[in-house]
């Protein structure tokens, strides 16, 4: 009799222990009874039916999916390499477990398909300069597509857009040419403005005329010496500042005589 009581007691204790299921914070559990979905277990202490119930535990914490570099073709038919990272989490464990066969593999395939589609709508220049735009477009498309899976896409980040070596050199040459063109335009605009101001000053004040002529001759003198110094056979030339001043004075005198002749 005592042995039967002991056996019954052990059976009851074992049943009670087997019926207790603790789910840690950041996880949820799926209960299957005889192969069919029964309910979802939340974090904390839960009770199940031993032998009849099977518990499958899934994390509900944010997860990272790293997408390895993949080839994509831009709208102007340039092949590039792109990699990205996806941050996601499970909102509905039941949907995530039963709606898709392999969740992470499905997410990766979806990211690649969407990424190639977005890049295919942009030319190379826009693709390289609009990474944030690509991220936003990917987030919108992926979040909508994964909703039936019980998954929330939190953010997507395109980490690197890599060009072929030949294309990289071509773009570098193009950028250098564009910088040179802008510098030439800026220099030309500055010269035109200087000429305009000099012309105005010449008309208004003869003393300004003398100062401007001295400045221009001195500037020409410095620039000429700089050009000569760049030559492998260059020689250093010095000019007496007195001679420079006398040349300017003579030039101004000629201009005054011409003005007097015109008045007569």
pLDDT tens-digit series, residues 141-169: 998 999 999 999 999 999 888 876 676 66
Q: Is 173 helix (H, G, I), strand (E, B) or coil?
A: helix
Work out the angle between the directed axes of helices 165-204 and 206-230 (0-180°, nearest 10).
150
Percent of the chain, pLDDT > 90? 27
CB 152, CB 136: distance < 8 Å: no
Output 185 or 127, whichever has higher pLDDT.
Answer: 127
Instruction: Please state, in angstroms and as integers, the Cα–Cα distance from residue 264 to each residue in 84, 127, 202, 226, 259, following that order.
Output: 84, 72, 21, 44, 9
Output 210 or 130, whichever has higher pLDDT.
Answer: 130
Q: What is the C-alpha R_g of the chain?
A: 41
CB 57, CB 111: distance < 8 Å: no
pLDDT tens-digit series, residues 39-86: 999 998 888 888 888 889 999 999 999 988 888 888 888 888 899 999
pTM for this entry: 0.59
d(CA 3, CA 8): 9
User: Smallest Cα–Cα separation from 201: which of 215, 186, 219, 180?
Assistant: 215
Phi first, then psi: give them for residue 235, nearest 5 degrees.
-125, 150
């Amino acid at each position: 009799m005592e042995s039967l009581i002991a056996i019954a007691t052990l059976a009851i204790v074992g049943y009670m222990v087997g019926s207790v299921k603790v789910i840690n914070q950041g996880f949820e559990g799926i209960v299957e009874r005889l192969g069919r979905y029964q309910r979802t277990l939340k974090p904390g202490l839960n009770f199940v039916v031993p032998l009849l119930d099977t518990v499958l535990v899934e994390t509900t914490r944010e997860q990272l999916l790293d997408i390895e570099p993949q080839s994509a073709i831009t709208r102007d038919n340039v092949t590039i390499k792109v990699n990205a990272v996806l941050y996601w989490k499970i909102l509905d464990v039941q949907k995530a477990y039963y709606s898709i066969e392999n969740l992470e593999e499905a997410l990766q395939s979806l990211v690649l398909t969407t990424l190639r589609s977005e890049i295919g709508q942009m030319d190379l220049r826009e693709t390289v300069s609009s990474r944030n735009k690509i991220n936003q477009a990917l987030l919108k498309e992926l979040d909508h597509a994964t909703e039936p899976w019980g998954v929330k896409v939190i953010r997507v980040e395109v980490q690197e857009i890599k060009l072929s070596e030949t294309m990289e050199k071509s773009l570098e040459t193009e950028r250098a040419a564009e910088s040179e063109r802008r510098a030439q335009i800026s220099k030309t605009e500055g010269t035109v403005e200087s000429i305009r101001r000099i012309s105005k000053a010449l008309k208004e004040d003869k003393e300004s005329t003398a100062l401007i002529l001295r400045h221009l001759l001195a500037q020409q003198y410095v620039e000429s010496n700089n050009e000569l110094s760049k030559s492998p056979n260059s020689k250093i030339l010095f000019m007496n500042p007195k001679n420079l001043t006398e040349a300017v004075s003579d030039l101004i005198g000629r201009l005054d005589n011409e003005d007097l002749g015109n008045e007569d």
